[in-house]
């Protein structure tokens, strides 16, 4: 009997891949990967709804929790961990919870995904509550840990969504306010959902957090203006953004950043309006943190 989980089906296009040359293997995998963006595009409306829900959650002081097992859990933790340096947010704002805990990030914790109680315990420990947003990630759509996490989120009044690459069963769908089901088809190696399903999942999660952060005013045009200058590369990027937006020298950019307590966004408002840091912060707060609502100037054109 054929497994109902599409991620467990055999791929007829790669049935003889064990006889392929290195060049042929690369071509086969690349051809399968090329199918992923179109599959993600079929869920555009659902992804946009999740972006809106994440924005509403953040504006109301809630948090986003990614919950998954194995590759799905690792991808959630990865996306969450990139939000603070990229968008200057508190690490509590977007969190990743993986079945099996920290150890599961680097070594498989077999069986952790099959324990619903583990999800209840982990979300309780994280303090998930009403006003939060729980996104369960399950490539197969059937992970018990993820279903239990969604049910727990629903029970405490959190919003919920599921990201899957095979249609989830009714019980999982019933626990999700939004279902993002990106059907990527059978994998190159049967059941290896770290491949197409993993790629699709990463695209979806990137879009949800990036979209929500853009809506919160974390960019000016497509410039990253709430980044944390935690290393030399990011310090240089901060200075380059100020030079491009404000037309100042490198030395002036450094002075602006110092006066703005290293906030690129605040430095831009200070320079454009000729105000001090406190006034820049006040005006940004009045307009939801969105630079375009505070200053009239358009972002500089893209240079080609």
Cβ contacts of 264-267, under 8 Å, gap ≥ 24: 264/224, 264/225, 264/226, 264/227, 264/238, 265/217, 265/220, 265/225, 265/226, 265/289, 265/291, 267/242
**Superfamily the domain 6-215 falls into:** Glucose-6-phosphate isomerase like protein; domain 1 (3.40.50.10490)
Contacts of 135 (CB under 8 A, 6+ apart): 50, 64, 65, 66, 67, 76, 160, 161, 162, 163, 205, 208
Residue 113 annotated as catalytic: yes
**pLDDT for res 59:** 95
Residue 32 annotated as catalytic: no
**pLDDT for res 8:** 83
Question: pLDDT-derived band of residue 1, with 50, 70 and 90 as boundaries?
Answer: low
Token pair in block for residue 288: 């939801």
- The CATH architecture one would assign to domain 219-293 is Orthogonal Bundle (1.10)
**pLDDT for res 105:** 87
Question: pLDDT-derived band of residue 92, with 50, 70 and 90 as boundaries?
Answer: very high
Choosing from 113, 151, 187, 239, the catalytic residue is 113
State the average pLDDT over residues 286-294: 91
Choosing from 8, 56, 82, 279, the catalytic residue is 82
- Domain 6-215 and domain 219-293, same fold? Reply is no
Question: pLDDT-derived band of residue 26, with 50, 70 and 90 as boundaries?
Answer: very high
Q: For the chain, what are the domain ranges? A: 6-215, 219-293
Task: Give the pLDDT confidence of 251-286 residue by residue, as tens digits.
Answer: 999 999 999 999 999 999 999 999 999 999 999 999
Task: Give the pLDDT confidence of 40-83 residue by residue, as tens digits.
Answer: 999 999 999 999 999 999 999 999 999 999 999 999 999 999 99
Which residues are registered as beta bridge partners of 64? 94, 133
């Amino acid at each position: 009997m054929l497994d109902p989980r599409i991620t467990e089906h055999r791929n007829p296009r790669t049935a003889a891949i064990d006889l392929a040359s290195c060049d042929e293997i690369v071509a086969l995998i690349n051809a399968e990967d090329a199918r992923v963006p179109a599959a993600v595009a079929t869920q555009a409306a659902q992804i946009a709804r999740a972006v809106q829900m994440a924005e509403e959650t953040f504006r109301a002081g809630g948090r986003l929790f990614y919950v998954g097992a194995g590759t799905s859990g690792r991808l959630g933790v990865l996306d969450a961990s990139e939000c603070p340096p990229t968008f200057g947010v508190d690490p509590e704002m977007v969190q990743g919870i993986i079945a099996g805990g920290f150890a599961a990030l680097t070594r498989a914790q077999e069986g952790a995904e099959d324990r619903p109680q583990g999800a209840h315990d982990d979300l309780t420990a994280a303090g998930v509550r009403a006003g939060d947003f729980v996104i369960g990630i399950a490539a197969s759509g059937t992970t018990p840990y993820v279903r239990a996490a969604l049910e727990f989120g629903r029970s405490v009044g959190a919003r919920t969504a599921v990201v899957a690459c095979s249609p989830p069963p009714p019980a999982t769908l019933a626990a999700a306010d939004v279902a993002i089901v990106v059907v990527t088809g059978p994998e190159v190696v049967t059941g290896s959902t770290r491949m197409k399903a993993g790629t699709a999942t990463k695209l979806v999660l990137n879009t949800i957090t990036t979209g929500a952060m853009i809506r919160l005013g974390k960019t000016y045009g497509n410039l990253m203006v709430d980044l944390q200058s935690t290393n030399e590369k990011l310090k240089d990027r901060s200075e380059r953004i100020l030079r491009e937006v404000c037309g100042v020298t490198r030395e002036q950019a450094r002075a602006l950043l110092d006066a703005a307590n290293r906030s690129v966004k605040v430095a831009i408002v200070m320079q454009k309006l000729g105000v001090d840091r406190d006034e820049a912060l006040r005006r940004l707060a009045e307009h939801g943190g969105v630079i375009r609502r505070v200053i009239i100037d358009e972002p500089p054109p893209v240079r080609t």
